[in-house]
């Protein structure tokens, strides 16, 4: 399907704002029951648009985890505001709700929630917090397309939700993303931002020309990216179900091994439906983690650690205000197993057997 749709883009000779961008928008909107979806070049673009929409400015603070990709913090810094890094929970690597409320002050304008690995934050608690302190709630749902909290899709709870369809994600458009506009008051302004600051899409037949209305940029996804993504979204259930089967197979086998040397991220529960983006171990320390990566590599299985915490980086140290003990434990211990739909049954069996041998030895 992807090849057919990409060839159609070439045949149509329409490379921006065309058929497949519109089809992706409508399909995602219907699928996750969003008020409004706009296709973007990336999740980074979606987050940058979100900061423009809430009118983030110098002197404002935004609470977020340090254990995330740079885009989460960059979107805040680009508006002259300050990221405030709060520690995560060891159970699910999401922001620790109990710590978040303690750090809210008069400067706090928003909270950015990252649903790590595709496992939801506690949305009931954060929605109460949003209302109590009159804050904006932004979901960085880069990992969590099709994940749910209760009966609602992640990315549709906050005022705004940003998705990633980067080549490393469950559904890919090369470099592609989407923004879910859940607070409908932002819809018109979002259109202007996406149209490079013009009223081009709002003109109708009343005007013969469009004009500059405010700040905007080139944020929309291309037709090639949209066509690539649309091919997979048409087949979303098979891709999702395959990832789920692999994730559950890992969990079934490794949760049986009782050890104080490692833990697993929490699995599905009644409230949270996993997006199955990452299957991760959290080892007790850096030494064991590195031994595991080396052992797996010797057996021709590539496993990777994940983010280097933003507050530990040379650039990010200046924004560290609080101790982030759990975040540093997660960094020292977390490693991801291969998880993608084209893994064969034999490969999955080999990964499980090789991993079990290591876990039983430590």
Query: In residues, how long is the chain?
Result: 362
Chain center to CA of 280 = 16
Q: How many CB atoms lie within 10 A of CB 307?
A: 20
| Half-sphere exposure (Cβ direction) of 206: Cα atoms closer than 13 Å | 7
CA distance 270 to 151: 10
DSSP labels for 276-345?
----EEEESSHHHHHHHHHHHHHTT---B-----GGGSTTGGGG--S--HHHHHHHHHEEE----TT--H
| Half-sphere exposure (Cβ direction) of 169: Cα atoms closer than 13 Å | 27
Give residue 218's pLDDT. 95
Give residue 329's pLDDT. 97
Give residue 265's pLDDT. 86
pLDDT in 10s for each residue of the chain, 362 residues: 899 999 999 999 999 999 999 999 999 999 999 999 999 999 999 999 999 999 999 999 999 999 999 999 999 999 999 999 999 999 999 999 999 999 999 999 999 999 999 999 999 999 999 999 999 999 999 999 999 999 999 999 999 999 999 999 999 999 999 999 999 999 999 999 999 999 998 887 667 789 999 999 999 999 999 999 999 999 999 999 999 999 999 999 999 999 999 999 876 678 889 999 999 999 999 999 999 999 999 999 999 999 999 999 999 999 999 999 999 999 999 999 999 999 999 999 999 999 999 999 88
Mapped onto helix, strand or coil, the DSSP state of residue 64 is strand
Phi/psi for 62 (5° steps) reads: -130, 120
CB–CB of 24/227 below 8 Å? no
Phi/psi for 34 (5° steps) reads: -90, 150
Query: Would you give the DSSP letter of residue 256?
Result: T
Give residue 29's pLDDT. 98
Strand 177-181 relative to strand 82-86, pairing: unpaired
Contacts 24+ apart (CB under 8 A), 129-136: 129/97, 129/100, 129/101, 129/104, 130/158, 133/104, 133/108, 135/104, 135/108, 135/109, 135/110, 135/111, 136/54, 136/109, 136/110, 136/111, 136/160
């Amino acid at each position: 399907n992807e090849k057919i749709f990409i060839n159609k883009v070439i045949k149509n000779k329409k490379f921006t704002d065309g058929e497949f961008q519109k089809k992706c928008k409508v399909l995602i909107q219907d699928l996750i029951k969003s008020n409004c979806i706009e296709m973007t070049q990336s999740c980074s673009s979606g987050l940058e648009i979100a900061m423009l929409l809430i009118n983030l400015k110098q002197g404002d603070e935004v609470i977020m985890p340090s254990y995330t990709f740079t885009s989460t913090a960059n979107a805040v810094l680009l508006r002259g505001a300050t990221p405030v890094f709060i520690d995560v929970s060891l159970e699910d690597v999401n922001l620790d709700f109990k710590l978040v409320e303690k750090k809210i002050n008069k400067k706090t304008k928003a909270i950015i929630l990252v649903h790590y690995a595709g496992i939801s934050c506690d949305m009931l608690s954060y929605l109460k917090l949003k209302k109590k302190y009159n804050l904006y709630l932004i979901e960085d749902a880069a990992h969590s397309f099709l994940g749910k909290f209760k009966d609602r899709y992640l990315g549709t709870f906050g005022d705004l939700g940003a998705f990633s369809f980067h080549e490393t994600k469950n559904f890919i458009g090369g470099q592609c993303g989407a923004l879910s506009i859940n607070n409908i008051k932002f819809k018109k302004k979002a259109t202007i931002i996406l149209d490079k600051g013009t009223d081009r899409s709002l003109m109708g037949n009343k005007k013969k020309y469009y004009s500059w209305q405010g700040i905007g940029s080139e944020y929309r996804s291309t037709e090639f990216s949209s066509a690539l993504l649309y091919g997979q979204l048409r087949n979303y259930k098979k891709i999702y179900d395959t990832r789920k089967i692999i994730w559950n197979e890992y969990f079934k086998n490794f949760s049986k091994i009782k050890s104080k040397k490692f833990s697993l991220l929490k699995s599905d529960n009644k409230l949270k439906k996993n997006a199955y983006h990452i299957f991760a171990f959290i080892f007790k320390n850096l030494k064991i983690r590195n031994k595991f990566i080396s052992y797996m590599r010797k057996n021709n299985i590539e496993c990777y650690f994940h983010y280097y915490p933003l507050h530990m980086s040379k650039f990010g140290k200046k924004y560290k205000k609080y101790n982030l003990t759990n975040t540093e434990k997660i960094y020292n211990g977390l490693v991801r197993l291969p998880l993608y739909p084209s893994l064969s049954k034999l490969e999955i069996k080999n990964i499980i057997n090789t991993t079990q041998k290591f876990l039983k030895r430590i």
